[in-house]
Amino acid sequence: MTGKQMSAREVVGRLRSGMTIGIGGWAVRRKPMALVREILRSDLTDLTIVSYGGPDVGLLCAAGKVRKLVFGFVTLDSVPLDPHFRAARQRGEIEVAEYDEGMLQWGLYAAGLRLPFLPTRAGLGSSVSSGNPELRTVADPYGSGDELIAMPAIPLDAALVHMNRADVHGNAQFLGPDPYFDDLFCLAAEQAFVSCERIVPTAELTAQAHPATLVLKRLVVDGVVEAPGGAHFTSCVPDYDVDTQALHDYAASAASPEAWAEFRREYLSGGAEHARDAEARTA
Amino acid sequence: MTDATRAEVCVIACAEAFRGDGEILASAFGTIPAIGVRLARATFAPDLLLTDGEAQLMRGTWAVDAPADGVVEGWSPFRRIFDLVWHGKRHAMMIPVQIDRYGNTNISALGDHARPKVQLIGVRGAPGNTVTHPVSYWVPKHAPRAFVPRVDLVSGVGHDSAAAAGTGARRYHDLRRVVTNLAVFDFAPEGGAMRLRSVHPGVTVDEVRAATGFPLVIEGEVPETRLPTEEELRLIRDVLDPRGRRDEEVPA
């Protein structure tokens, strides 16, 4: 059993321009921001991003990394709309495939199960189906008469997720209220990378917590990055909550190129040192 | 009782949307619907299930701007919520940016979807909610820009769209109420167009008509929305919203 510990830079070294990358978490909760920051510093471009979107999406849009977004929403919660994402959309810079948020789960699940699609009612009658010419329906083969949407699998070249704890083998644990869909992102991906607040010995993972909190199994994880504060400025409960000041600075940074440059200098250029500062501030 | 504010009348109208729902998950977005659904559970709809806003189902009655305070009775992370959504045991009250005559709603984008004039939040769960379980809507500012002849894109599925999409969409389609700062609506059984059910005290039918960008179904004399009882007012003012957040959403 080999260790899979690597650096954020090594993770991004495994990615290529044009890839489809799934990003775990939910809105401003447990986003793998240390890995996103590393993508911002890289020369990667032309990415297709699949996300329950928060500032991960806005940052990548603002940095010109995104060709296409597969999404159900993009929000900052206390700030309902992400201004960087809005600006990119309103300038017509990115292509989108917009799905109901449950359809997105279904697409990841289908990819994880190696199925071409899974049926659902969600999307029927809405602009999700009428606005997406690639979406097909299937007739219930058992005779109810219902035509259902065949939600296509969303296979990912890579998945990036952030967890509270992991071991070096890729077993990873959430300690907050909700696992979100991180395990499905990893299951749907060719390569999955997990950053975490702390890498600990395997036995420590279940010393205090129920084994059900181990939502990532090492057989679906290719690399583990120790990144304390690695979800900053999103939350990683119970380790830390959202950094409200940084969140508002982020939202305000869409006002002008100068504000965006200032935000990048303040929050994005510091690398691992900055993440540790962030951890101290949010502790 | 006569000193009830408009916001308090709206709370009652939102609460009434959940009357008779029984043992289902009630999800309310916005301050006044959140007060309303808690009021409903504390009074005439005791079997409703509510979350703490994250992943726990909670019994109890707590203020709308305070952390959930009660007994945990279940775990419902997002994927389990989606299970309940598709299973059908949920009634959600959502906030549309646009709503049209047949109850189509839009929260995704204004203008051309390829390059929106205004990008909003995205369709979220609206497409799935509307074809799998009961849905109501809350519009805190009833005006022609919200009540439009035709939504720019369909996030939540209205009656005409569900009818056109076949039995797969129609089978569990169940739009219940639309509550605004002016009035309460449902949908006419014949044709599925929006129907005025009551106007809030101090509001005229003509005012509602003028604030609505499409023709409404209006049948006979339109009654007034009911007022809160003394006990309901006490719950709203002392327990559910002691800091008056309702007035920020619907000013007196």
Asked if the model's pLDDT at residue B118 lies above 60, the reply is yes
Q: Name the closest residue on chain A to residue B151, using Cα atoms.
A: A127
Cβ contacts (< 8 Å) between B82 and chain A: which residues? 101-102, 105
Task: Let me know: does A156 contact A23? Beta carbons within 8 Å.
Answer: no
Whether A67 has a pLDDT exceeding 50, the answer reads yes
Residue A130 has pLDDT above 90, yes or no: no
Q: What percent of chain A clears pLDDT 70, i.e. is strictly above it?
A: 95
Nearest CA in chain B to A27: B121
Q: Is residue A275 predicted with pLDDT exceeding 90?
A: no
Q: What is the mean pLDDT of residues A132-151?
A: 96
What pLDDT is recorded for position A131? Answer: 84
Q: Chain B interface, mutation test: which of A127, A142, A147, most B Cβ atoms within 10 Å?
A: A127
Buried b (16+ CB within 10 A) or exposed e, A55-82: bbbbbbbbbebbbebbbbbbbbeebebb
Give the whole-number percent of chain A exceeding pLDDT 90: 90
On the question of pLDDT at A281 being above 70, the answer is no
Q: What are phi and psi of A80, to 5 degrees?
A: -60, -35
Q: Cα–Cα–Cα angle for A159, A160, A162, nearest 5°?
A: 140
Give B21 to chain A, closest Cα distance, Å. 22
CA–CA min distance B148, chain A (Å): 17
Instruction: Indicate the pLDDT class of residue A203, thresholds 50, 70 and 90.
Output: very high
Residue B188, pLDDT above cutoff 50: yes
DSSP E strands in chain A: the ranges are 20-23, 47-53, 66-74, 95-98, 117-120, 136-139, 147-152, 156-166, 172-173, 189-199, 223-226
Which residue in A90, A103, A178 is closest to B55 by CB distance?
A: A178
Residue-wise pLDDT tens digits, B140-158: 999 999 999 999 999 999 9
Please, which pLDDT band fits residue B203 given cuts at 50, 70 and 90?
Answer: very high
Residue A278 has pLDDT above 60, yes or no: no
Residue among B95, B117, B123 with most chain A CBs within 10 A, to mutate: B123
Contacts of A261 (CB under 8 A, 6+ apart): none
In percent, the amount of chain B with pLDDT more than 90 equals 98
* pLDDT of A273 over the 80 cut: no
Two tokens, residue A56? 């991960």
Structure tokens at A32: 């793998």
> What does the alpha-carbon distance between residue A86 and residue A79 come to, in Å, rounded to a whole number?
13
Segment (H or E) for A115: none
Nearest chain B Cα to A126, which residue? B154
Q: Which residue of A has its CA nearest to B152?
A: A127
- Say whether pLDDT at A271 is over 70: no
pLDDT digit string, tens, across residues B237-246: 999 999 999 9
* pLDDT band of A2, cuts 50, 70, 90: confident
Mean pLDDT estimate for chain B? 97
- Residue A283: band (very low, low, confident or very high) from pLDDT cuts 50, 70, 90: very low
pLDDT tens digits along A34-60: 999 999 999 999 999 999 999 999 999
The chain-wide mean pLDDT, for chain A, equals 94
Instruction: Please count the residue pairs, one from chain A and one from chain B, whose beta carbons lie less than 8 angstroms apart.
Output: 144
pTM of the model: 0.96
